[in-house]
């Protein structure tokens, strides 16, 4: 901890993060143009040890350097058959890499290479659709160790060289020890063992255009890309998204759980070249040639309120489930209230009666509460329409027909 790792001019240099002095060049990384880092606590000979690993790629060689309790331990060299364009640690003993043609894994320290799947959009769609793919051999130490908090030195690596400009492939760390493997504008999630996340993310993540960098904050992916300019550009070969006229942007924010597009931003005329996060994903920084932007999320209360006003109930449920700013004791109650609003919306606005009644059953609603949503000619005096009319006639004012028996979600509960 307390170390700034900088890749510049084809070599990695370590700096004291507090003073930015005491530069330590790592000469055996000369020629590197990609770096990846991991810091975690591992039990070595039964003793908890802080293990930090730095992986670099250059000149068809992957170099992995290891520190134990801030003391340099050993370096390992692995020859690569093809040019590597992206690289990230999935676990202390497992590197995930990409060439222009395929995604690979490298087991550490054994040096065993295994194929994951081809790095093209058609293959990623097939993979996400359910075909059985994966590594040939499990890494025995792939899940060893406990990840360190994201404000350690492993989170503050900055590559100034970047990957090949003509290959849009990105491997980004996501919450929950997952990686997002992205080629052009489509990506899939894998876990720390190199397996597809079929349960949580069964569909591929599709961006509006090919990201040049991806990170995360709270419940969202934050992707940067090159803005083609004010005029719409024809789609690139193999693109999965049509290029349509629209607002300019070079930052794209999507919900990790639902993959819904939340927001796009246009950061001035200067293109961001890198994006990364810190303090456990609570801060996001975008870096351009001359400018650094700090991107801050709105309070979770405002986020949930906004999507509820837009009647995006699944999105609201997803935000509550993923948020680390809501107490676990409150999540269940808040989620139940949102599900109640969603059931009413399905019944009254969407006419999806079977789905709505199934939701009411799961929520434990009484028959009277469900019947009250029907028109007065069906529900009679139980209908909310009749109750509203009677209330107005008695001078009591109208009631909000969209409120469940339990109070609707209040933002001060979030």
pLDDT of residue 219: 87
Judge contact between 98 and 87, C-beta under 8 A.
Answer: yes
Question: How far is it, in rounded angstroms, from Cα 252 to Cα 264?
Answer: 5
- Interstrand relation of 24-26 and 34-44 (parallel, antiparallel or unpaired): unpaired
In this prediction, residue 404 carries a pLDDT of 40
Per the CB < 8 A criterion, the answer to whether 96 and 104 are in contact is: yes
What confidence tens digit (pLDDT) does each residue in 264-285 have?
999 877 889 999 888 777 889 9
What pLDDT is stored for residue 388 in this prediction?
45
- At 326 the pLDDT is 82
**DSSP codes of every residue in 75-98:** EEEEE-SS---EEEEEETTEEEEE
Phi/psi region, residue 111 (left: phi>0; alpha: psi -120 to 50; beta: rest), is left
Tell the burial category of 29 from Cβ atoms under 10 Å away from its Cβ (0-12, 13-18, 19+).
buried
pLDDT grade for 135, boundaries at 50, 70 and 90: very low
Instruction: Summarize pLDDT for 15-56 with one digit per residue, the tens.
Output: 988 887 778 999 999 999 999 999 999 999 999 999 999 999
- Three-state DSSP at 60 gives coil
User: Please, which pLDDT band fits residue 117 given cuts at 50, 70 and 90?
Assistant: confident
CA distance 334 to 316: 10
Q: Could you tell me which residue, 31 or 402, shows the higher pLDDT?
A: 31
3-state SS, one letter per residue, for 133-175? CCCCCCCCCCCCCEECCCCCHHHCCEECCCCCCCCCEEEEEEC
Residue 198: name the closest of 139, 265, 134 by CA: 134
User: What's the angle, vertex CA 158, arms to CA 99 and CA 151, rounded to 5?
Assistant: 115
What pLDDT is attached to residue 25? Answer: 93
Tell me the pLDDT tens digit for each residue of 303-320. Answer: 888 889 989 999 999 889
Rounded distance, CA 92 to CA 73, Å? 15
Q: Is 186 helix (H, G, I), strand (E, B) or coil?
A: strand
Q: Is 42 helix (H, G, I), strand (E, B) or coil?
A: strand
Going by pLDDT thresholds of 50, 70 and 90, the confidence category of residue 143 is: very low
Phi-psi region of 281 (alpha: psi -120 to 50; beta: other; left: phi over 0): left
Q: Supply angle C-alpha 253, 257, 258, rounded to 5.
A: 75
pLDDT for 140 equals 32
When pLDDT is averaged across residues 383-397 and rounded to a whole number, the result is 47
Q: How confident is the model at residue 104 (pLDDT cuts 50, 70, 90)?
A: very high
Q: If DSSP codes are grouped into helix, strand and coil, which group holds residue 343?
A: helix
**pLDDT value, residue 60:** 93
pLDDT exceeds 90 at position 105: yes
| Phi, psi torsion values for 303, nearest 5 degrees | -60, -50
Residue 135 and residue 8 in contact, taking contact as beta carbons nearer than 8 Å:
no
β-strands 34-44, 205-206: how paired?
Answer: unpaired
Structural contact between residues 93 and 108, judged by C-beta atoms closer than 8 angstroms: yes
pLDDT digits (tens, 9 = 90+) for 180-227: 999 989 999 999 999 988 777 667 899 999 999 999 988 899 999 988
Residue among 117, 116, 208, 224 nearest 170 (CA)? 224
Give the pLDDT score at 149.
33
pLDDT in tens, 306-361: 889 989 999 999 889 888 878 887 888 899 999 999 998 998 888 898 998 899 88
């Amino acid at each position: 901890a307390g170390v700034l790792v900088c890749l510049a001019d084809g070599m990695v240099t370590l700096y004291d993060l507090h003073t930015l002095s005491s530069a330590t060049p790592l000469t055996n990384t000369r020629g590197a143009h990609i770096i990846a880092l991991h810091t975690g606590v591992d039990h070595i000979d039964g003793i908890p040890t802080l293990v930090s690993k730095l992986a670099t790629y250059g000149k068809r060689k992957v170099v992995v350097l290891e520190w134990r309790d801030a003391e340099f331990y050993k370096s390992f060299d692995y020859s690569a058959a093809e040019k590597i364009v992206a690289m990230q640690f999935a676990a202390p003993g497992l590197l995930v890499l990409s060439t222009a043609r395929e995604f690979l894994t490298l087991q550490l320290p054994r040096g065993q290479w295994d194929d994951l799947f081809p790095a093209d959009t058609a293959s990623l769609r097939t993979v996400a659709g359910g075909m059985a793919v994966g590594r040939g051999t499990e890494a025995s130490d792939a899940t060893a160790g406990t990840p360190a908090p994201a404000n350690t030195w492993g989170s503050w690596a900055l590559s100034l060289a970047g990957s090949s400009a003509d290959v849009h492939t990105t491997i980004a760390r996501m919450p929950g020890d997952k990686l997002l493997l992205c080629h052009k504008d489509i990506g899939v999630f894998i876990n720390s063992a190199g397996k597809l996340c079929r349960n949580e993310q069964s569909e591929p993540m599709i961006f509006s255009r090919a990201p040049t960098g991806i990170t995360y904050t709270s419940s969202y992916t934050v992707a940067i890309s090159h803005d083609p300019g004010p005029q719409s550009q024809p789609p690139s070969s193999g693109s999965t998204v049509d290029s349509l006229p629209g607002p300019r942007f070079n930052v794209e924010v999507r919900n990790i759980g639902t993959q819904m597009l939340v927001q796009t931003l246009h950061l001035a005329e200067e293109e961001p070249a890198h994006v990364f996060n810190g303090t456990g994903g609570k801060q996001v920084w975008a870096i351009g040639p001359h400018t650094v932007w700090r991107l801050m999320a709105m309070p979770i209360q405002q986020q949930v309120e906004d999507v509820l006003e837009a009647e995006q109930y699944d999105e609201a449920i997803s935000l509550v489930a993923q948020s680390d700013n809501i107490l676990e004791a409150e999540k269940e109650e808040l989620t139940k209230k949102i599900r109640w609003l969603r059931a009413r919306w399905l019944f009254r606005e969407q006419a999806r009666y079977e789905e709505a009644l199934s939701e009411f059953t799961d929520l434990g609603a009484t028959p009277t509460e469900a019947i009250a949503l029907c028109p007065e000619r069906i529900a009679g005096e139980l209908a909310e329409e009749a109750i509203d009319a009677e209330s107005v006639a008695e001078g009591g004012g109208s009631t909000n027909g969209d409120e469940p028996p339990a109070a609707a979600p209040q933002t001060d509960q979030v």
